[in-house]
Amino acid sequence: MAASSSIDRRTVLDRDAILGHLTCQDPSGLFAAADRVRTQEHGDGVMIRGLLEISNHCNEQCLYCGLRAGNTSLQRFRMTREQIVTEAIAAARSGLETIILQAGEDWRFGPEVVAGIVAEIRKACDATITLSLGEFHRGAYALWRAAGADRYLLKFETSNQTLYSRLRPGRELRDRIACLATLKDLGYQVGSGNMVGLPGQTLGDLADDLLLMARLELDMAGIGPFIPHPRTPLADTMSPALIERNDRTAARACDLEDLTLRSVAIARLIMPGAHLPATTALGSLTSGAREKALKTGANVLMQDITPVALKSLYDIYPDRICRTESAAHCGSCMKNKIESVGRYVQSGHGDVRA
Using CB under 6 A, list all residues that contact ligand 5AD: 64-65, 155, 157, 195, 224, 226-227, 229, 281, 316-317
Rounded distance between C-alpha atoms, residue 42 and residue 45, angstroms: 7
For the CB of residue 320, give the shortest distance to ligand 5AD in the complex, in Å: 9
Asked if 30 contacts 197 with a C-beta cutoff of 8 angstroms, the reply is no
Beta carbon of residue 155, minimum distance to ligand 5AD (angstroms, whole number)? 4
**Residues in a beta bridge with 277:** 300
d(CA 195, CA 223) in angstroms, rounded, equals 6
Q: Helices 203-215 and 15-23: crossing angle, nearest 10°?
A: 130
Quick check: helix, strand or coil at residue 171?
coil
Q: Under the criterion CB under 6 A, does residue 53 sit at the interface with ligand SF4? A: no
Please, which residue, 45 or 70, has the CB nearer to ligand 5AD? Answer: 70
Nearest distance in Å: CB 257, ligand 5AD: 13
Beta carbon of residue 96, minimum distance to ligand 5AD (angstroms, whole number): 20
Rounded to whole angstroms, the Cα distance separating 314 from 158 reads: 22
* 62 makes contact with ligand SF4 (CB under 6 A): yes
Which run of H or of E encompasses 131? strand 128-132
Identify the DSSP state of 296: T
CB of 290 to ligand 5AD, least distance (A): 14
Q: Which CB sits closer to ligand 5AD, 227 or 271? A: 227
Q: Which residue lies nearer to ligand 5AD by CB, 41 or 106?
A: 106
- Choose the one of ligand SF4, ligand 5AD, none that binds residue 281, judging by a C-beta under 5 to 8 angstroms depending on kind: ligand 5AD
Q: Is 56 helix (H, G, I), strand (E, B) or coil?
A: coil
Reference 42, options 331, 300, 336; nearest CA is 300
Q: Which DSSP state fits 346?
A: P
Q: Alpha helices, DSSP H only, in 43-80?
A: none
Does the protein bind ligand SF4 through residue 105 (CB under 6 A)? yes
Select from 56-64, 180-188, 197-205, 212-220 the region that touches ligand SF4 (CB under 6 A). Answer: 56-64
| Site membership for ligand SF4, residue 134 (CB under 6 A) | yes
68 binds, among ligand 5AD, ligand SF4, none (CB under 5 to 8 A by kind): ligand SF4
For position 65 contacting ligand SF4 by CB under 6 A, the verdict is: yes
Q: Which partner from the list ligand SF4, ligand 5AD, none does 229 bind, CB cut-off 5 to 8 Å by kind?
A: ligand 5AD
The binder of 227, among ligand SF4, ligand 5AD, none, by C-beta within 5 to 8 A per type, is ligand 5AD
- The three-state secondary structure class of 58 is coil
End-to-end CA distance of the chain: 9
With binding defined as CB under 6 A, does residue 104 bind ligand SF4? Answer: yes
Is 270 among the residues that bind ligand SF4 (CB under 6 A)?
A: no
Contact 273, 3 (CB under 8 A): yes
> What is the C-alpha to C-alpha distance for residues 35 and 48, in angstroms, rounded to an integer?
19
Residue 276, helix vs strand vs coil: coil
Which one, of 62, 104, 73, 75, lies nearest residue 233 by Cα?
A: 62
Task: Specify the stretch interacting with ligand SF4 by CB under 6 A; choose among 2-10, 62-70, 77-85, 332-340.
Answer: 62-70
Contacts with ligand SF4 by CB under 6 A lie at: 58, 60, 62, 65, 67-68, 104-105, 134
